[in-house]
């Protein structure tokens, strides 16, 4: 059995104590996010895993199967911390302070044999650096997952399909229209067309900050898909500057019904469905009101 | 990237197309791919299989369930030993066809899936690889 | 050999595709439909694809062909009930079925056809409608 493994096995308690001390003495420790018991449990688990992994003599390849439990524990901790809102520094400190703890024990034991001490220090350094890489990797992955989930949520929330009249749907688009967003807009719109049996859909782009050729292409795709389903699509909310860019970019929207405002689009939709909106003369209105 | 399941299907007649599509659909359902993404992948696969039948009298398809960064996906490899494609660049253009079709097969299939790769040598055959991820990106 | 049944409903032909079409079946359908149009002098063709989960460029071409051929014989074609996933895929594929009318369901497709060829069920409107609707 190699020195590191032996050291870990024989001094588990001591290392854990050192480590806990290091962690607790760090002023940035977020005891509001994690309890002492929880921290101790996690740390104990990791040292045990590490001691088992090194027992086979492998101290430089953390991708070997015997390291799987260690990497798993570490990833688990980093991902949980990323989600809980720990900073990267706090998450990184966790493993790096273990290095400090092991080194202290090493120093105590081999202070008389500088050669062995040097060699073992290097090994420990190497191994724990690699493990801290794992922490960062998974920490970032954890954060990315959070971002991805939020993106999905925002996309989901920001594309409501509203039934404004029998057979008429309206879909106000707010924010930039990229291809992922277009996909969701299309799916929601088409599904709602099926669900409500609507034959007219109004796509309002007043909330879209800019229309470039890519956005226009996405709009045209949505209109084409709506047509394939057998419904008609009106695009409304075309501001002056959007009309200008569309013409300057040479985008052809002549096959698509466009309107400046949602109100005029609704009016067009009404006339397409042969619906008339009339003002009721005030007297009669009063009468009914009474 | 990890390959989780691997399967091969021979496509020699046009009657093989529907069972093949059903097999792909089964795989998609297994990894929980959404209906729209399923439809895109199967349509792309359908185009490629049709090309294989038309230009190379059939070939084989390797169907794999794969996983990368905890994301599941489907990889399909279409291998034929037909005449090959002389000018891939041209074949990938919309509206180009040596047969009597709309010429949407290859470029259309490419637009429908996340990853697309084509290799071909005249006289030796063509290999097309497509990957579509579970969430479609 | 398998065949897709074609129903005659007044001046219209109705086809409901219930299975995934393989190529020969689709080609047979194209043939059958066109000969039916010519035999019955139908004015409209309704193709219900609500049960079809995959439309690739070949199927798209068949639908386009049916529409173009029928038009030459003075009949309009309406494809009804396309599934959202299929519509999104077709657009991505680059196929917009130019020249084919579409409707949400058979009922709306029927209305559209009546509109297109000028047959009105409402007797009052019939007077105003063009007289060349039927013989």
> Could you report the predicted ipTM of this complex, rounded to two decimals?
0.85
d(CA B42, CA B25): 7
Contacts (Cβ under 8 Å, ≥6 apart) of A215: A176, A177, A208
How do strand A232-236 and strand A200-207 relate by DSSP bridges? parallel
CATH number of the CATH domain containing A208: 3.30.750.24
Domain boundaries, chain B: 2-133
pLDDT, one tens digit per residue, over B73-128 is 999 999 999 888 888 888 888 777 766 565 678 888 999 999 999 998 888 889 99
CATH of the domain at A113: 1.10.490
- Out of 1.10.150.120, 3.90.226.10, 2.40.160.210, 3.30.565.10, which CATH number does the structure's domain B2-133 have? 3.30.565.10
Which range of residues forms the domain containing residue A186?
A: 162-272
Q: Is B125 on the interface with C (CB under 8 A)?
A: no
Q: Which chains touch C (3 or more CB pairs under 8 A)?
A: A, B
Domain boundary at A155, A180, A199, which? A155
Location of structure tokens 């760090």? A26
Q: Which residue has the higher pLDDT, A269 or B15?
A: A269
Cα B123 from Cα A32, distance rounded (Å): 69
Which residue in B has a C-alpha nearest to residue A137's C-alpha? B69
Distance CA A231, CA A200 (A): 6
**Distance in Å, alpha carbon of B37 to nearest chain A alpha carbon:** 10
Residue A141, in any domain of the structure: yes
Please report whether residue A201 resides in a domain.
Answer: yes
What residues have CB less than 8 Å from A90, skipping those under 6 apart?
Answer: A28, A29, A30, A81
Q: In chain B, at which residue ranges do the beta strands (DSSP E only) sit?
A: 2-11, 59-68, 71-80, 115-121, 125-133
Distance from the A44 Cα atom to the nearest Cα atom in chain B, whole angstroms: 28
Residue C99: left (phi > 0), alpha (psi -120 to 50), or beta? left
Query: To which residue do tokens 């079709």 refer?
Result: B101
Contacts of C88 in chain A (CB under 8 A): 183, 186-187, 190, 225
Q: For residues B44 and B30, what is the distance between their CA atoms, to the nearest angstrom?
A: 19
* Backbone φ/ψ region at A258: left (φ over 0), alpha (ψ -120 to 50), beta: beta
Distance CA C46, CA A65 (A): 62
Strands (E), chain A: 162-165, 168-174, 200-207, 232-236, 257-258
Q: How is residue B29 written in tokens?
A: 């359902």
pLDDT tens figures, A144-177 = 888 888 877 777 777 788 999 999 999 998 888 8
Section A98-122 average pLDDT: 87
Query: Which of A125, A155, A185 delimits the end of a domain?
Result: A155
Do A138 and A42 share a structural domain? Answer: yes
Task: Work out how many domains chain A is built from and give that number.
Answer: 2
Q: What is the pLDDT of residues C92-117, one digit of tens each?
A: 998 888 889 999 999 999 999 998 88
Say whether both A67 and A176 belong to one domain.
no
For chain C, list residues whose CB is within 8 angstroms of any CB belonging to chain A: 79-84, 86-88, 90-92, 96-97, 102-105, 108-109
Q: Which of A105, A133, A155 is the last residue of a domain?
A: A155
Domains (range + CATH), chain C = 6-133 (3.30.750.24)
């Amino acid at each position: 059995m190699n020195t590191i493994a032996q050291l870990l096995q024989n001094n588990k308690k001591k290392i854990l104590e050192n480590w806990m001390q290091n962690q607790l003495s760090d002023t940035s420790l977020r005891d509001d996010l994690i309890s002492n018991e929880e921290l101790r449990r996690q740390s104990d688990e990791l040292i045990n895993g590490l001691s088992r992994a090194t027992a086979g003599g492998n101290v430089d390849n953390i991708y070997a199967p015997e390291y799987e439990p260690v990497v798993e524990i570490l990833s688990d901790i980093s991902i949980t911390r990323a989600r809980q809102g720990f900073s990267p520094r706090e998450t990184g400190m966790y493993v790096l302070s273990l290095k400090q703890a092991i080194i202290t024990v090493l120093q105590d034991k081999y202070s008389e044999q500088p050669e062995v001490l040097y060699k073992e220090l290097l090994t420990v350094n190497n191994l724990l650096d690699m493990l801290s890489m794992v922490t960062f990797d998974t920490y970032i992955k954890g954060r990315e997952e959070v971002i991805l989930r939020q993106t999905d949520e925002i996309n989901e929330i920001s594309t409501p399909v509203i039934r404004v009249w029998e057979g008429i749907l309206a879909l106000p688009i707010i924010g930039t229209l990229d291809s992922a967003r277009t996909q969701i807009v299309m799916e929601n719109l088409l599904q709602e067309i099926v669900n409500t049996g609507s034959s007219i859909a109004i796509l309002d782009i007043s909330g879209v900050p800019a229309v470039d050729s890519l956005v226009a292409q996405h709009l045209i795709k949505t209109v084409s898909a709506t047509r394939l389903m057998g419904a008609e699509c009106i695009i409304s909310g075309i501001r002056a500057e959007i009309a200008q860019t569309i013409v300057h970019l040479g985008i052809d929207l002549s096959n698509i019904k466009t309107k400046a405002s949602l109100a005029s689009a609704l009016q067009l939709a009404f006339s397409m469905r042969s619906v008339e909106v009339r003002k009721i003369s005030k007297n009669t209105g009063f009468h009914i009101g009474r | 990237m990890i390959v989780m399941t691997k399967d091969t299907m021979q496509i020699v007649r046009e009657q093989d197309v529907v069972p093949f599509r059903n097999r792909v659909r089964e795989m998609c359902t297994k990894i929980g791919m959404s209906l729209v993404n399923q439809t895109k992948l199967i349509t792309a696969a359908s185009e490629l299989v049709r090309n294989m039948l038309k230009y190379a009298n059939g070939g084989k398809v390797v169907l794999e369930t794969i996983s990368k960064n905890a994301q599941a996906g489907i990889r399909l490899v279409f291998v034929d030993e037909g005449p090959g494609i002389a000018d891939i660049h041209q074949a990938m253009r919309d509206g180009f066809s040596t047969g009597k079709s709309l010429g949407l097969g290859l470029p259309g299939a490419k637009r429908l899936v996340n990853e697309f790769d084509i290799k071909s040598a005249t006289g030796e055959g063509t290999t097309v690889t497509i990957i579509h991820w579970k969430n479609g990106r | 050999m398998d065949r897709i049944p074609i129903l005659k409903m007044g001046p219209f032909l109705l086809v409901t595709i219930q299975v995934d079409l393989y190529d020969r079946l689709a080609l047979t359908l194209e043939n059958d439909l066109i000969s039916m149009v010519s035999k019955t002098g139908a004015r409209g063709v309704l193709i219900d694809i609500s049960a079809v989960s995959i439309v690739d460029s070949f199927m798209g071409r068949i639908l386009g062909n049916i529409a173009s051929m029928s038009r030459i014989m003075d009949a309009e074609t309406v494809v009804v009930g396309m599934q959202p996933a299929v519509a999104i895929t077709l657009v991505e594929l680059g196929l917009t079925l130019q020249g084919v009318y579409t409707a949400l369901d058979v009922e709306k497709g029927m209305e559209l056809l009546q509109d297109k060829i000028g047959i009105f069920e409402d007797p009052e409107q019939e007077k105003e409608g063009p007289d060349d609707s039927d013989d």
